[in-house]
């Protein structure tokens, strides 16, 4: 089966990279960040989350860290980190979206500045 | 109990994915149960499982049997099958709601009905997304070649001289066959250009057709109409019965590309039920 293409970044992958841009996180931390960032509009299920993480790991956009304890000191978890390639892909996607927004503004689809 | 049930769901994921992520997924599930309500978590998890389980079964690394070039064919098929599976589950859930209203009376089981309707709504949304993915696939036939492009893989082209057969699977799509099965292509039946591509390629080689009786039964409008109208006539009208009909009526009436017969399929039983309810 094909590796899923990441250009442009699928929405789920974009949200995961954006969450990891704020620091290393475990799965639930990523899920919570995505929900908070989007006012609960995007709620990743475990299957979707880890499926996308797998794709991002394959692409080298995310690195897997050794299991470590959470700051709360409970059970050890696997953490994920945004790689240099992942940060570049995220930046490229943000620029692509910014260009689209500029285009929408030029066509008067969006009036006020949202970014 | 919840964790045991979720452990059973996890077993449905392919083994490599399960071995790598099941432990983490169970932790995430446990975290969500601890921080959010159980019903909401279950609705999310079930909706997620419906989509991610079939997907993961096809996104695993190709089996050594398949040469690398076979991957795009399997990928396209996965997307099409996912849409079909979601539609089938959607039909099954709705049938369950109907069966409950028949045998138990929906007003007596309203918490269950609300749960089922919510699950149906979520499945409906997932089905719509899967359908949009399929519709977004592009197939184009020129005078001497056909190109198929869909999200996830590079566009693939076959020259006319390479095509040795066409096999149409009803409701699924058209398989464009070559001497090397690994190079075969799929055009999904719901792709916008499906009819045009099939007509063009049909001029090059004959099309073999395989019917799909299960999908045909699930989408049989006259059969569904008989079931729904009988239901509206036989069951005692209740506010919950009306609410149950509104679930499919609203998206059907709002959808621009919903054909008239589909709109009638949902609105006629609703109208019958409404009139009976108003007359007391």
CATH number of A11-106: 1.10.10.10
Mean model confidence pLDDT for chain B: 75
C-alpha–C-alpha distance, residues B277 and B279, integer Å: 5
Residue A64's nearest CA partner among A74, A50, A45 is A50
Q: What is the pLDDT of residues A13-23, one digit of tens each?
A: 999 999 999 88
- In this predicted structure, what is the pLDDT of residue A73? 59
Task: Please tell me which residue, B75 or B15, carries the higher pLDDT value.
Answer: B15
Overall domain count for chain B: 3
- In this predicted structure, what is the pLDDT of residue A2? 38
Last residue of a domain, one of B177, B194, B211: B211
Contact check, Cβ <8 Å, B78/A1:
yes
- In this predicted structure, what is the pLDDT of residue A3? 42
C-alpha–C-alpha distance, residues B184 and B74, integer Å: 10
Domain boundaries, chain A: 11-106
Strand blocks (E) in chain A: 25-26, 62-64, 68-69, 76-77, 79-82
* Residue of chain A minimizing CA distance to B78: A1
Task: Please tell me which residue, A109 or B113, carries the higher pLDDT value.
Answer: A109
Domain shared by B21 and B90, yes or no: yes
Partners of residue A5 in chain B, C-beta under 8 Å: 151-154
Last residue of a domain, one of B191, B211, B231: B211
Chain center to CA of B269: 24
- In this predicted structure, what is the pLDDT of residue B263? 83
> Mutating which of B17, B28, B122 best tests the A interface, going by the most A Cβ atoms within 10 A?
B28
Q: Kindly report the pTM of this predicted structure.
A: 0.46
C-alpha–C-alpha distance, residues A18 and A29, integer Å: 12
C-alpha–C-alpha distance, residues A115 and A93, integer Å: 15
pLDDT at residue B248 greater than cutoff 90: no
Give the percent of chain B with pLDDT over 70: 65
Residue A51's nearest CA partner among B31, B21, B83 is B21
C-alpha–C-alpha distance, residues A81 and A99, integer Å: 27
Contact check, Cβ <8 Å, B24/A27:
yes
Domain shared by B36 and B94, yes or no: yes
Contact check, Cβ <8 Å, B75/A1:
yes
| Lowest-confidence pick of A19-28, B60-69, B193-202, B223-232 | B60-69
C-alpha–C-alpha distance, residues B146 and B45, integer Å: 40
Domain shared by B72 and B186, yes or no: no
Per the CB < 8 A criterion, the answer to whether A28 and A79 are in contact is no
pLDDT at residue B24 greater than cutoff 80: yes
Domain shared by B131 and B142, yes or no: no
Residue B158's nearest CA partner among B136, B138, B141 is B141
Task: Please tell me which residue, B207 or B179, carries the higher pLDDT value.
Answer: B207
Per the CB < 8 A criterion, the answer to whether A48 and B51 are in contact is yes
| Lowest-confidence pick of A106-110, B99-103, B198-202, B251-255 | B99-103
Task: Please tell me which residue, B278 or B223, carries the higher pLDDT value.
Answer: B278
C-alpha–C-alpha distance, residues B124 and B62, integer Å: 30
What residues contact B156, with CB distance under 8 A and at least 6 apart?
Answer: B72, B147, B148, B149, B185
C-alpha–C-alpha distance, residues B54 and B72, integer Å: 16
| Mean pLDDT, residues B209-232 | 76
Q: What is the ipTM of this complex?
A: 0.81
Compute φ and ψ for B193, nearest 5 degrees.
-90, 15
C-alpha–C-alpha distance, residues A61 and A47, integer Å: 19
Q: How many beta carbons lie within 10 A of that of residue B54, not counting itself?
A: 20
- In this predicted structure, what is the pLDDT of residue A80? 93
C-alpha–C-alpha distance, residues B39 and B46, integer Å: 11
Partners of residue A77 in chain B, C-beta under 8 Å: 24, 27
Confidence of residue B46 (pLDDT cuts 50, 70, 90): confident
* Residue of chain A minimizing CA distance to B32: A28
CATH number at residue B186: 2.30.29.30
- In this predicted structure, what is the pLDDT of residue B173? 78
Task: Please tell me which residue, B105 or B23, carries the higher pLDDT value.
Answer: B23
* Residue of chain A minimizing CA distance to B54: A47
| Mean pLDDT, residues B68-87 | 51
- In this predicted structure, what is the pLDDT of residue A33? 92
Residue B189's domain comprises: 138-211
Q: Which two tokens stand for residue B178?
A: 């070559």
Last residue of a domain, one of B87, B116, B135: B135
Q: Which two tokens stand for residue B162?
A: 């390479």
Most confident listed range (A42-56, A70-84, B96-110, B168-182): A42-56
> Mutating which of A32, A46, A72, A74 best tests the B interface, going by the most B Cβ atoms within 10 A?
A46
- In this predicted structure, what is the pLDDT of residue B104? 57
Confidence of residue B275 (pLDDT cuts 50, 70, 90): very high
Partners of residue A46 in chain B, C-beta under 8 Å: 24-25, 28-29, 45, 48
Domain shared by B94 and B37, yes or no: yes
């Amino acid at each position: 089966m094909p590796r899923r293409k990441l250009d442009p970044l699928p929405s789920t992958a974009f949200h995961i990279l954006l969450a990891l841009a704020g620091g290393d996180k475990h799965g639930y931390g990523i899920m919570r960040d995505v929900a908070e960032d989007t006012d609960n509009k995007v709620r990743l299920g475990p299957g979707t989350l880890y499926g996308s993480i797998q794709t991002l790991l394959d692409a080298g956009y995310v690195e897997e860290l050794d299991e470590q304890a959470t700051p709360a000191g409970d059970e050890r978890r696997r953490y994920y980190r945004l790689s240099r390639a992942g940060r570049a892909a995220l930046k490229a996607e943000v620029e692509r979206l910014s260009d689209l927004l500029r285009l929408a503004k030029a066509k008067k689809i969006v009036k006020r500045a949202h970014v | 109990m919840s964790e045991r049930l979720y452990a059973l769901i996890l077993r449905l994921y392919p083994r490599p994915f399960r071995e790598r992520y099941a432990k983490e997924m169970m932790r995430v599930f446990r975290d969500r149960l601890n921080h959010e309500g159980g019903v909401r978590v279950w609705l999310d998890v079930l909706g997620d499982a419906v989509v991610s389980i079939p997907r993961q079964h096809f996104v695993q690394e190709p089996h050594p049997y398949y040469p690398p070039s076979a991957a795009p064919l399997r990928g396209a098929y996965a997307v099409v099958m996912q849409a079909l599976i979601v539609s089938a589950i959607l039909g099954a859930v709705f049938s369950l709601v109907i069966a409950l209203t028949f045998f138990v009376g929906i007003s007596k089981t309203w918490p269950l009905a609300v749960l089922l309707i919510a699950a149906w709504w979520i499945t409906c949304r997932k089905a719509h997304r899967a359908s949009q993915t399929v519709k977004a696939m592009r197939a184009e036939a020129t005078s001497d070649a056909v190109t198929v492009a869909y999200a996830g893989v590079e566009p693939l082209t076959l020259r006319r001289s390479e095509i040795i057969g066409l096999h149409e699977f009803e409701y699924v799509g058209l398989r464009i066959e070559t001497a090397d099965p690994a190079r075969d292509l799929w055009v999904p039946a719901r792709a916008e250009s499906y009819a045009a591509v099939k007509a063009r390629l049909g001029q090059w080689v004959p099309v073999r057709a395989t019917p799909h009786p299960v999908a045909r039964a699930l989408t049989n409008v006259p059969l569904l109409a008989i079931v729904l109208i009988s239901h509206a006539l036989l069951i005692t009208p209740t506010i919950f019965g009306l609410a149950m009909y509104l679930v499919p009526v609203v998206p059907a009436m709002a959808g621009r590309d919903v054909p008239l017969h589909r709109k009638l399929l949902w609105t006629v039983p609703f109208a019958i039920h409404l009139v009976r309810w108003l007359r007391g």
